[in-house]
Structure 1
Amino acid sequence: MSVARRALVLTASAALLAACSPSPAPSASNGAGAPAATSITELDYYADEQGSAAWQKILDTCATQTGIKIERQKVPTNQMLPKVLQSASSKTLPNLLFTDNPTLQQVAATGALTPLTDYGITTDGYYPSIVKAGTYQDKLYGVAPGVNGLALIYNKDLLQAAGVEPPKTWDELKAAAAKLTKDGKYGLAFSAIPSEEGTWQFLPFFWSNGAELSQLDSPKSAQALQYVTDLVNSGSASKSVVTWNQNDVADQFVGGNAAMMINGSWNIARLDEQKSLHYGVVPIPVPQAGGKPVVALGGEVGTIPVTGGPTQQAAGKVLSCILSEPTMLEWSKAHAYIPSKTATAQKFGTEQPSMQAFVDEVGTARSRTAELGEKYPKVSQALADALQAALTGKTPVDQALKAAQQASGS
C-alpha cells in the first residue's frame, strides 16, 4: 500500500470529483518554440523521515542529470487525493505528480493528466500488471519506478523451536499458526482495519482463491473470508487485528507477540535494525500446493499533469531519469521496493535475498483498479466493511459479503 506503507486514501467527496470535469489534455508539443523550462514543481506523499530522505536523493540525482531544478512539495498520505482533486479542479497541479497507484484512475478521469507516450516513455520491459496500474482508457498516464507488496514474514527462532516449517498453503498456515500460538503470543498477525489498508491485506487471500472484485459474494470470496475469520475465531490471530494498522502489526512482530505476520517490503529496514531478531520471508500461502499467490500492487506512479508544453517536457525528462535502471535500483534499495522492470527486478532479488519473495510475487500481482477502474474505491470500502463485520462476529460471512455486494454497486 505504497500500498501500502501507509493507509491508502482512496475516497474523496463526490463534489470534488464532479468539479474536476474532464477536458482535452494538450499534447506535450503544445508550446513549441517557447523557451525550455529550467525548473519544475513536484508533489509526493513521502512524509516519513526515511522515505522522504530516500526520495529527495532520487530527485537530487535527476536534477543534476537533467539540469532541471525540482521544487519539491510533500503532503501526508491522507491529504494527497483531496489536494490533487482540488488542484485538478483549479488547474494548479504540480508539473510532476507521484500518487498512489489505485488513485490514478480517479485523477486521470478529471482530464488533468497527459499520456506519458508524449514524452517518449514506453512500457518496454515492465511487468504487465504495473503497466495496467498506470493505464486509463487504454492510455498510459503513470509509471512506477518501483512497487511494493505483501509477503509472510516469520520469526526463524520461534518456528524452529516449535518444529514448524514456513507454510506454503492455507492448510499449512492454519496448522503453523495454531502450533505457534501459546503463552499469550499469537501465531499470526495481520491488519483488518475498515479501510483500504484492511482490503489490501485481505486481497491476497481473496484473489489467490479465484475471487473477483466484481462479485464480492461469490463462493470463492466467501471461502477466503471464512478462512481468515477462522484464524481469528480459533485464537491463532488476535481479535485486535480489526484495529491494527500495518505499523501495529510490525510492532507486534518485533515485540515477539506474533510469530508470523502479513506485511510489506517496507518493513525490511526496520527488521534489519533488530539485531536479535532472525526473520525470514516467503510468499503468502496459497489455497492449494503449487499455486501462485496473487497480491495487490502497492507503490506510487509518476504522472505529468497538464501545465503547459515547456514544463511538461521538462517533467518528462525528470520522470525519464527516475525510470532509468540505475535510478530505479537506487530507489528500490533505499526504500525496499521492487524495480518495475522484469530484468531489473530479477537482478535486484539476487542481490537482495530478503526481497526475493516479494520479487517472486510481482509476476502474478494485480493492479487493484485494472478490473473496476474508478469504481474500485467504493468496492474496496464495501469489502473492508465485510471483513470487519465477519471478524468481529457481527455478521456471518455470507451475509456480510451479500451486503458488501449490494453496497459496492458493482
Structure 2
Amino acid sequence: MKTARKCPKITVAAAALVPLSLTACGGSASSGTGSLTVQDYYQPSHDAIYKACAKSVGVEVKINHLPGAGLISKVLQQSSSRTLPDVLMLDNPDVQQIAASGALSPLTDYGLNGEGMVPAVVKAGTYEGKLYGLAPAVNTISVFYNQDMFEAAGISAPPKTWDELRAAAKKLTQGDRYGFAMSNINTYEGSWQFLPFMWSNGGTEENLATPETAQALQFLVDLQNDGSISKSSVNWGQGDVVNQFVAGKAAMAVNGPWVIPQLEKEKSLKWAAFTIPTRLASQTTVAPLGGELYTVPRTGDKTRMGKAGQFVKCLTSPEKQLESAKIEQTIPSTLTVAAEFGKSNEVIAPFVTAVKTARSRTAILGPDWPKAATKIYTAVQAALTGKAAPAEALQQAQNQQ
C-alpha cells in the first residue's frame, strides 16, 4: 500500500506567493466516491443542473456557493489546507492563473477537448497547450436600444459603424436624456466595456499606445464632447447603465444579456439589441468573452477526479448548455447549439453573433491580463476626465509598471 505524500502547512498569505502545485497534493475535504463537492459563485438556480449531472455520474453532490469577489483567495486557502472542491467554477480570466499554479488537472484526461465550442471558450480554458476549463454557456456585450425613441428620431435601423452610431446618438440626445450610455468606471468593468471598440479596430493590450487604440478612445471622447455620453459615465458600473436605460435617461446602452430579466419586467419599455458597431463597415466586432468555466482540481484522489471529469462533461453537454443558457440568459458554448438558441430567441440573437468572434481576455497576455486591464481603464479615465488627450493617456498607461 502506498502512503500519501504529506503537504507542508502554508498560511494563506504565503500561499499567494507559492505555486499551488506545491500545496494541491492532498485529498478533497469529503471522502470516498459517493459524493462530489461543487464550488461556484452562482445563486442556487443551477442546483437542479448539478443534481441531474450528479445522478448521471452516480454520485451525490454537495454544493458550495461563495461570493465571487473572494473566490481566488478562498481557492488559495483551500489548496494550503487540502480542501479543494472536486469541481471548481472560475471566472474565465482566472483559469490560466490557477492552471499556471498547478492546482488544476487537464480536462483531456477525462475525454474533454472542447470540440465544436466557441474558439474563445477553448482559448480561455487553455494554458500552455493544455485544456483546463470549459463553460456550458458564455456571455458578452452588445447595445440595447429603445425602439420607441429610435422611431421618434426617425432612425429606421440600428447603426453599424461608429459614424452611424455617433449620428444616431446625437439625434437621440434630448434634454436630460443621453443618446448613448456605457460604463467607463475605473475598474475591470470599465476595461471590459472599452474592449470591443479597441479590439474591433485592431488595437491590442500588448501595446496600448497605438493609433488604432487611440482612435477607439477618441471616439468615446467625441461622443462625450457631443453631449451624447454623460460625463458621469466614469463613475457608472454596468448596473448604473441599465438603470439609466430603464429610466428613459439613455436611448442606447452597452450591456450584457444578464440584464434581460430586468428589462422584461418593464412592460412599457419597447427594446431590442444590436451588435456593437465597428469603425469601418468592413471590420468585424470583437467583443470580450464573459462567463464561467468548470475545472477539475488536483485533489490527489484519482477516482474522485475521474468522477469530477464526468460531471464536467455532463455540465457541458448540449442539453445542459441549453438549460444553463436559459437560466442565466447566456449563450450556449457549442456553436451549433448557440445558433439554434439564437434562432428561437430574437433578443439573444445579437449576442450569439458577437460570441462567435468574441475573444477571451487572457488570449494574448495569459495570466498577465489584470495588469493590462488596469492600464486600459486608467487611460479611459484620463481621457474622459480631460487629464490627457487619448494618445497621451494611452502612452502614459502603457508606461505603467
Q: Match of 2:250? A: 258
SS at 1:304 equivalent: strand
1:38 aligns with 2:34: yes
- Mapped to 1, the partners of 2:283 and 2:23 lie a distance apart of 44
- Mapped to 2, the partners of 1:150 and 1:299 lie a distance apart of 11
C-alpha contact (below 8 Å) 2:160/2:278 kept by paired residues = yes
- Mapped to 2, the partners of 1:105 and 1:85 lie a distance apart of 14
Q: Match of 1:223? A: 215
Larger Rg: 2
Structure 2 CA distance for partners of 1:228 and 1:373, relative to 1, 3 Å: same
1:359 aligns with 2:316: no
SS at 2:163 equivalent: helix
Q: Match of 2:100? A: 109
Task: Quote the offset at 1:54 in angstroms.
Answer: 2.4
Normalising by structure 1, what TM-score? 0.90
- Mapped to 1, the partners of 2:205 and 2:260 lie a distance apart of 30
Task: Quote the offset at 1:20 in angstroms.
Answer: 3.1
Superposed CA RMSD in Å reads 1.9
1:389 aligns with 2:388: no
Normalising by structure 2, what TM-score? 0.92
C-alpha contact (below 8 Å) 1:102/1:369 kept by paired residues = yes
- Mapped to 2, the partners of 1:323 and 1:358 lie a distance apart of 19
1:136 aligns with 2:136: no
Code of the aligned partner of 2:141: L
Code of the aligned partner of 1:254: V
Q: Spell out, residue by residue over 1:259-281, the C-alpha distance to the aligned partner (whole angstroms, 9 max, x if none).
A: 00000011112211211111111
The counterpart of 1:120, out of the listed 111, 121, 124, is 111
C-alpha contact (below 8 Å) 1:39/1:314 kept by paired residues = no
| Counterpart mapping for 1:28-177 below 5 A | 37-46=33-42, 52-164=43-155, 165-177=157-169
C-alpha contact (below 8 Å) 1:19/1:89 kept by paired residues = no
- Mapped to 1, the partners of 2:262 and 2:347 lie a distance apart of 13
C-alpha contact (below 8 Å) 1:17/1:110 kept by paired residues = no
- Mapped to 2, the partners of 1:208 and 1:303 lie a distance apart of 30
C-alpha contact (below 8 Å) 2:234/2:384 kept by paired residues = yes
Task: Quote the offset at 1:226 in angstroms.
Answer: 0.9
- Mapped to 2, the partners of 1:78 and 1:248 lie a distance apart of 19
C-alpha contact (below 8 Å) 2:118/2:335 kept by paired residues = yes
Q: Match of 2:3? A: none
Q: Match of 2:302? A: 309
Question: Displaced runs of 4+ in structure 1, greater than 2 A?
Answer: 13-17, 19-26, 63-67, 85-92
Task: Quote the offset at 1:14 in angstroms.
Answer: 9.0
C-alpha contact (below 8 Å) 1:204/1:293 kept by paired residues = yes
Structure 2 CA distance for partners of 1:36 and 1:15, relative to 1, 3 Å: closer
Q: Match of 2:275? A: 283
1:204 aligns with 2:200: no
Code of the aligned partner of 1:88: S
SS at 1:82 equivalent: helix
Task: Quote the offset at 1:75 in angstroms.
Answer: 1.7
SS at 2:160 equivalent: coil
- Mapped to 2, the partners of 1:212 and 1:15 lie a distance apart of 34
Code of the aligned partner of 1:247: G
SS at 1:280 equivalent: strand
- Mapped to 1, the partners of 2:295 and 2:93 lie a distance apart of 13
Code of the aligned partner of 1:43: Q
C-alpha contact (below 8 Å) 2:24/2:79 kept by paired residues = no
SS at 1:354 equivalent: coil
Code of the aligned partner of 1:343: T
SS at 1:380 equivalent: helix
- Mapped to 1, the partners of 2:23 and 2:174 lie a distance apart of 61
Q: Match of 1:348? A: 341
Structure 2: where are the runs of 5+ without partners? 1-11
Task: Quote the offset at 1:15 in angstroms.
Answer: 5.8
C-alpha contact (below 8 Å) 2:286/2:357 kept by paired residues = yes
Task: Quote the offset at 1:67 in angstroms.
Answer: 2.7
Code of the aligned partner of 2:17: A
SS at 1:206 equivalent: helix
Code of the aligned partner of 1:86: Q
Code of the aligned partner of 1:363: K
Code of the aligned partner of 1:110: S
Structure 2 CA distance for partners of 1:131 and 1:146, relative to 1, 3 Å: same
SS at 2:144 equivalent: strand
C-alpha contact (below 8 Å) 1:54/1:331 kept by paired residues = no
- Mapped to 1, the partners of 2:55 and 2:81 lie a distance apart of 31
Q: Match of 2:238? A: 246
Task: Quote the offset at 1:175 in angstroms.
Answer: 0.6
Task: Quote the offset at 1:189 in angstroms.
Answer: 0.8
Task: Quote the offset at 1:291 in angstroms.
Answer: 2.3
Task: Quote the offset at 1:389 in angstroms.
Answer: 1.1
Structure 2 CA distance for partners of 1:24 and 1:136, relative to 1, 3 Å: farther
